[in-house]
Amino acid sequence: MPLKTSWVASANDAHHPFPLNNLPYGVFSVEGDEPRCGVAIGDMIFDVTAAEAEGLIQLADEPLFDLPFWNPLMEQGPAVWAALRDRLTDLLAEGSEARSDIEHLLIAQSDAEMHMPVAVSEYTDFYAGRHHAQNVGTMFRGPDNALPPNWLHIPIGYNGRASSVVVSGTDIRRPWGQLKSPEHDRPAFLPSRRFDIELEMGALVGTPSDGPITVQEADNNIFGYVLLNDWSARDIQAWEYQPLGPFQAKATATSISPWIVTKAALDPFRCDTPAREFELLDHLKDCGPMLYDIDLSVTMAPDGKPATTIARTNYKEMYYSSAQQLAHHSTSGCPMNTGDLLGSGTISGPTKPERGSLLELSWGGKEPLTLDTGESRTFIEDGDTLTLTGEAKGEGYTIGFGDCVGTVLPALQDPYGR
């Protein structure tokens, strides 16, 4: 599919992340106004809330965009999602007769502040990247026992904290926690010394379900995707995770990119999951290309200094797709709600520069990274800014998500304020 041209000139740049082919959904505000729904087009934001109020967009009997999140549209289902995309394309395409009626509804992105695009209902994070699981398992159990026996049969996950999901640009405070003290046999309550990131994609559930759903139904129910950084305190995690898995180590924050890229925008980039050692059970079998060819990268910038790219990989490296994760999540009868967020798990490739976490890049702290500034890192230091980016390259156009950025602040001097 080639570039679709728009009368918004900046959207026609082959390298711009927000062409007419994309039309991602976010929530923005300008000084003095309340947050509202908008669509990115080139360097601008089209005010969808105002367009609906002026009668330029009418998709349902009741307003869908009068709240500062996209959940009301998400729960409408695929037919309404497609209708909105068609209407936006008609309004913003080159030669549109509506141009004079809607030019006043464009706001420069440089003048806007971005907010959470979705009210997250619940958050589940998976451990579904083969190379990441192999690397981490090798570090702690050796290469012969790196993967647990179930890993090649089901997408492993855990329930996280929806309350700590934040939008890109939100500062992240280094957490306190109970650690196994290197100086003593008993634990100590200290700020995390091994704070880390995880490069992930997040899938957002649109259509709710109640009971088991197939992989194809799960794929139909996914509304769109965001970049996701699962901030992780590795030292807290190492002490707490046995026998029930991650808890406080993963509860500090989860950052997502500001724009939801719809499944329709990503359809041209679908690709197959990797070859499998074992055939999956029927309820998890692939039913077509379920992954996406999306280039991903991570940069690290020490406080006030230039950034260094520390990792490059691709979403197609995942072993399980988001549709398979969602289908597996539903097998017990677990209802899935509009606004549920599914983290893919860390996305790593087969070589060292493709590793999506500092735990892997520094091999547990034993192999420090050297940044372009000359400084070295094993894990994140205070003041470091981590930025995740993602883009899919089409014929003369780019599909982007907006950066997923977080700066780590020092731990509180006294976490209880007394």
Q: Catalytic positions, please?
A: 132
**Are residues 239 and 180 in contact, defined by beta-carbon separation less than 8 angstroms?**
yes
- Name residue, tokens 């967009």: 57
For residue 243, whether the previous peptide bond is cis, meaning omega lies within 30 degrees of 0, is yes
Q: Name which of 259, 265, 296 is nearest 389 in CA terms.
A: 296
Please state, in angstroms and rounded to a whole number, the distance separating the CA atoms of residues 302 and 28. Answer: 28
- Name residue, tokens 């809330």: 49
Torsion of CA 280, 286, 290, 293, to 10 degrees: 70
Sign of the C-alpha dihedral computed for residues 84, 89, 92 and 98 taken in this order: negative
Paired tokens of 136: 């981490």
Q: What is the DSSP letter of 274?
A: P
φ/ψ of 319, rounded to 5, equals -90, -35
Residue 27 β-bridge partners: 37, 115
φ/ψ of 341, rounded to 5, equals -115, 130
Q: What share of the chain is helix, strand, coil (3-state, %, to 5)?
A: 25, 30, 45
**Are residues 346 and 198 in contact, defined by beta-carbon separation less than 8 angstroms?**
yes
Q: Determine the 3-state secondary structure of 367 from DSSP.
A: coil
